[in-house]
């Protein structure tokens, strides 16, 4: 009987953990099981109905009262803020708006799911940023630029007549973490989105999102008046062009009264813009701002601009935008990528943060892993986001963090916003990799509260997504918190940057050079490796990009002895035998960093294997397969980079480190493959 009991128990465990789970529920897995009484004495609205339903079906405690309060202390929290108070006998969620009650309800349910709903609560929260927005780089044919999770969520061909249930699920997931805006289309925008054919489709999506507190925005192509409006120019100072935009704004708001506004990429990577007519970014942005202002809309004007030149690409955004500080309309906000180049695994912050003090500036972060292994690599991005937001710009002395320069607390901007380039798609698990969901979650949580720590966010996400088993929590959190630094080490340690394949940004190609292509689209432009050393000199003896930073950062970055080593090769071209703080030469340090990155990916596989009987079979197998790809990719990166740089340094790989698996000529002959081919894992060594 004892043996039989053991067999039965083992079989039960296998049944419990062998169940299918495709990840479609994201972190919202505590639905059902509640039977709470929800009391609300005011007028019901679609949003309040959602709040009542979420609490009634999920809250497992006592009665909950909803209070649309006009009290001074509640109104001081803002329209999105809320207060949760009370104990086991009764809880009250108070806010000055329906949306605030929605966010309060989801926060209470998050506390319950994380085991943190205490016996007595008195919690007041309001968001750090007014606008917390996802940017979708989705095209009208449903392809997604830098999308690694299937097709676009937006089924344009079926709209407006047919609404996918995923629109509601997407809105619910965003509302649960406080995201309140969505730019539906690619910043490389098609003018077609503004036509009479497509605007009713946009309206249909906006109608689904509205009860969840989410506004819809559109990326606008600057040439739309000419391309779809029939005008002979798109000059922002032309009166007919200005009228066209005003009429278009009125048309949109007649359909979508709460339309958020436009996101614009102009005069960047071939996109049209005001420079085509000898005008400034302010001229272009202000024209659109004037069209939107009567309706309460905003313009998010991207500062991702660079043109072929002999200048350091990292300097160009500041050079174009700093002279325009204070010349933009109040409803214009400049959207700035976190780093001066392009969403690299590690970059210093863009000096526009803190530099522009009379114009609202919003950070743009990349949730989709364009430069971090697509949806094949497990890389938890909260540490990257946190590192960026908490970095001190010294714009007004110590404590002038990037977050403070953008959330309105330091410069008093009337608009505060933050954007994340979304990683969602039509895949069942939304993001292509189950752990990539954590980056969507992390962006939302930090957009709401940039003081949160990465380890807390990881703990929240794990508990809601996989459960609260202590061994699972410990191991999964350990894996997540080490993953970003591991990726930096096996890709581009010491702030090497942009040495990816020029064609697809997935694998390494530090050797690629083509005299017929722009220099700033080629890796040697960034690593500057030669027999004398490696790294980009951005000190006074080089491009002098350090001069764009405030003191004492300017001096700290300019001196290799004081520059943080994790930014060293961004600011300095140093000899291969330069002595590092570890006592190693720069060459040996690179070798050890690459080796560490590879070893970490192997350790991640071991950590995950320990959780086999604590995670459902479907998700366990999926992540296991991805980790195998990541470990192979890490070797590919290590071998390609070290073997190539070794041809320039002439120095040996330390004997105590593992030898390269591949040889350089063979790696260099591999085809510069398409993304589809890469994603199958067949990108190297045929």
Annotated catalytic residues are 269, 342, 370
Phi then psi for 40, rounded to 5 degrees? -145, 125
Q: Are 477 and 457 in contact (CB under 8 A)?
A: no
How many beta carbons lie within 10 A of that of residue 447, not counting itself? 27
How far, in Å, CA of 42 to CA of 21, rounded? Answer: 40
| Alpha-carbon distances of 549 from 361, 456, 555, rounded to whole Å | 16, 31, 9
Short-list 251, 247, 244, 193, CA closest to 217:
193
How far, in Å, CA of 215 to CA of 212, rounded? Answer: 9
Tokens of 345: 């695994």
CB neighbour list of residue 66: distance below 8 Å, 6 or more residues apart: 38, 39, 40, 42, 48, 51, 52, 92, 93, 94, 101
How far, in Å, CA of 234 to CA of 273, rounded? Answer: 8
Beta-bridged to residue 92, according to DSSP, are 65, 85
How far, in Å, CA of 333 to CA of 456, rounded? Answer: 30
Tokens of 12: 């039960």
Q: Is the dihedral of CA 649, 651, 655, 661 positive or negative?
A: positive
**Region at 583 (left for phi over 0; alpha for psi -120 to 50; beta for the rest):** left
CB neighbour list of residue 129: distance below 8 Å, 6 or more residues apart: 362, 406, 407, 416, 417, 418, 447, 448, 450
Please measure the distance between the N-terminal and C-terminal CA atoms of the chain and give it in whole angstroms: 55
Beta-bridged to residue 336, according to DSSP, are 363
Burial of 8 from C-beta contacts in 10 A (0-12 / 13-18 / 19+): exposed
Q: In 93-198, where does DSSP find H-type helix?
A: 98-113, 165-176
Q: Are 623 and 608 in contact (CB under 8 A)?
A: yes
Short-list 472, 434, 435, CA closest to 612:
472
Q: Are 487 and 439 in contact (CB under 8 A)?
A: no
SS3 442: helix
How far, in Å, CA of 202 to CA of 194, rounded? Answer: 9
How many residues appear in the chain? 686
Q: 131-135 and 417-421 as β-strands: parallel, antiparallel, unpaired?
A: parallel
Tokens of 426: 């039509």
How far, in Å, CA of 546 to CA of 556, rounded? Answer: 9
CB neighbour list of residue 665: distance below 8 Å, 6 or more residues apart: none
Beta-bridged to residue 67, according to DSSP, are 94
């Amino acid at each position: 009987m004892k043996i039989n009991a053991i067999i039965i128990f083992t079989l039960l465990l296998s049944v419990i953990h062998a169940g299918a789970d495709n990840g479609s529920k994201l972190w919202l897995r505590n639905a059902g099981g509640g039977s709470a009484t929800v009391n609300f004495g005011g007028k019901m609205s679609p949003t309040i109905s959602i709040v009542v339903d979420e609490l009634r079906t999920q809250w497992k405690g006592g009665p909950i009262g909803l209070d649309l309060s006009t009290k001074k202390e509640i109104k001081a929290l803002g329209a999105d803020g809320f207060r949760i108070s009370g104990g086991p006998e009764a809880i009250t969620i108070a806010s000055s708006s329906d949306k605030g009650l929605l966010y309060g309800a989801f926060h209470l349910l998050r506390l319950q799911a994380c085991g943190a709903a205490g016996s007595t609560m008195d919690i007041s929260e309001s968001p750090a940023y007014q606008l917390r927005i996802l940017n979708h780089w989705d095209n009208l044919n449903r392809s997604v630029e830098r999308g690694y999770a299937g097709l676009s969520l937006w089924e344009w061909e079926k709209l407006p007549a047919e609404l996918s249930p995923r629109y509601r699920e997407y809105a619910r997931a965003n509302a649960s973490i406080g995201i309140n805006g969505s730019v539906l289309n690619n910043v490389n925008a098609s003018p077609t989105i503004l036509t009479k054919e497509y605007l009713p489709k946009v309206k249909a999506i906006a109608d689904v999102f509205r009860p969840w507190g989410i506004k819809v925005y559109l990326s606008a192509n600057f040439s739309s008046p000419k391309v779809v409006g029939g005008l002979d120019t798109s000059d922002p100072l032309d009166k007919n062009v200005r009228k066209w935009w005003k009429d278009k704004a009125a048309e949109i708001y007649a359909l979508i009264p709460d339309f958020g506004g436009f996101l614009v990429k102009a005069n960047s990577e071939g996109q049209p813009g005001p420079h085509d007519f000898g005008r400034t970014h302010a001229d272009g942005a202000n024209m659109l701002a004037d069209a939107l202002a009567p309706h309460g809309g905003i313009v998010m004007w991207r500062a991702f601009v660079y043109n072929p030149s002999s200048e350091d690409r990292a300097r160009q955004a500041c050079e174009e935008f700093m002279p325009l500080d204070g010349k933009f309309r109040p409803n214009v906000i400049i959207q700035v990528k976190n780093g001066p180049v392009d969403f690299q695994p590690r970059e210093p912050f863009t000096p526009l943060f803190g530099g522009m003090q009379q114009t609202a500036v919003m950070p743009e972060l990349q949730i989709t892993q364009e430069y971090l292994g697509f949806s094949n690599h497990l890389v938890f991005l909260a540490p990257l986001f946190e590192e960026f937001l908490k970095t001190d710009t010294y714009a007004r002395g110590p404590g002038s963090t990037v977050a403070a320069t953008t959330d309105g607390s330091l410069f008093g901007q009337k608009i505060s916003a933050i954007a994340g380039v979304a990683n969602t798609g039509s895949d069942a698990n939304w993001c292509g990799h189950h752990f990539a969901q954590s980056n969507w979650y992390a962006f939302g949580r930090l957009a709401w509260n940039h003081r949160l720590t990465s380890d807390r966010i990881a703990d929240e996400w794990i508990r809601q997504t996989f459960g609260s088993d202590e061994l699972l929590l410990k191991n999964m959190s350990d894996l997540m918190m080490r993953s970003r630094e591991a990726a930096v080490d096996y890709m581009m340690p010491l702030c090497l940057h942009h040495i990816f394949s020029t064609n697809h940004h997935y694998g390494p190609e530090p050797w690629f050079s083509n005299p017929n292509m722009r220099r700033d689209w080629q890796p040697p432009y960034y690593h500057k490796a030669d027999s004398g050393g490696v790294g980009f000199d951005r000190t006074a003896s080089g491009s002098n990009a350090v001069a764009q930073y405030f003191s004492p950062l300017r001096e700290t970055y300019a001196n290799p002895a004081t520059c943080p080593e994790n930014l060293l090769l961004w600011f300095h071209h140093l000899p291969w035998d330069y002595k590092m703080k570890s006592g190693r030469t720069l060459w040996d340090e690179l070798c050890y960093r690459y080796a560490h990155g590879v070893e970490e990916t192997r350790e991640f596989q071991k950590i995950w294997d320990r959780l086999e009987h604590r995670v459902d079979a479907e998700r366990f197998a999926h992540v296991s397969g991805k980790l195998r790809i990541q470990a192979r990719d890490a070797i590919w990166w290590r071998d390609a980079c070290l073997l190539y740089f070794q041809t320039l340094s002439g120095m040996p790989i330390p004997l105590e480190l593992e030898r390269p698996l591949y040889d350089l000529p063979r790696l260099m002959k591999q085809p510069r493959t398409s993304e589809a081919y890469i994603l199958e894992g067949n990108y190297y060594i045929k």
